[in-house]
Amino acid sequence: MKKPPKKSIAVAIFSSDREKVLLIKRRDVPVWALPGGGIEKGESPNMAALREVEEETGFQIKILRLVGEYLPVNRLSRHTYLFESVIIGGEPTIGKETKEIAFFPTQALPKLLPPPYAEWIADAQLLSNPPFTKKLTSVNYKVFFTNLLLHPLLVLRFVLSRCHLHINDRS
């Protein structure tokens, strides 16, 4: 029997003026990303968003809206729910999955921001209603192989993380 595809969530948290977005630097693949991760068995996407943000940042959030759902077009991506949220409590805290936490201007995102995060940030800024569903085309084999040539160690760490072999850099 074929397993259902894994689903995940990502959460966009903007500054009050919506000109900055909260990003985390991951430990397993040291790149900047939106907080997020896999949805556990029996967990709703909303509950996964609350859990993942608190685990990765130390913040408690209130979900403002579901921005949209992204459908995978290949084995490199997952069915992902993107939420927009606001911080309602907690303190920034790094942990076993997070190396750094920072707000970045949406017009000056970090260089090590892999796809599809820039697309997701732009989509979350649009304030479109109702939530949309679209194919996740920015995560594709051409981009994968380009990044493999430009950043071989990061891509190797990404592949290992997909195989559940995490390298958590404690430095």
Tell me whether strands 79-90 and 7-13 are parallel, antiparallel or unpaired: parallel
- Expressed as residue numbers, the domain containing 153 is 7-162
Q: What's residue 100's pLDDT?
A: 96
Q: What's residue 169's pLDDT?
A: 57
CA distances from 123 to 16, 54, 63, 67, 82 (A): 17, 23, 16, 7, 9
User: What distance, in Å, lies between the first and last C-alpha atoms of the chain?
Assistant: 42
Q: Give, for all 171 residues of the chain, the pLDDT tens digit.
A: 556 668 999 999 999 999 999 999 988 888 999 999 999 999 999 999 999 999 999 999 999 999 999 999 888 889 999 999 999 999 999 988 899 999 999 999 998 788 899 999 999 999 877 899 999 888 878 877 887 787 777 777 676 766 666 665 554
Q: What's residue 94's pLDDT?
A: 93
User: Pick the catalytic residue: 54, 56, 69, 100?
Assistant: 100
Judge contact between 125 and 51, C-beta under 8 A.
Answer: no
If you search the block for the tokens 């991506």, which residue do you land on?
Answer: 77
CATH code, 59: 3.90.79.10
**What amino acid occupies position 47?**
M
Q: How many structural domains is the chain composed of?
A: 1
168 assigned to some structural domain: no
171 assigned to some structural domain: no
Q: What's residue 165's pLDDT?
A: 66
Note if 100 is an active site residue: yes
Its pTM stands at: 0.87
170 assigned to some structural domain: no
Which residues does 57 contact at the CB level (< 8 Å), separation at least 6? 22, 24, 35, 90, 92, 93, 98, 101
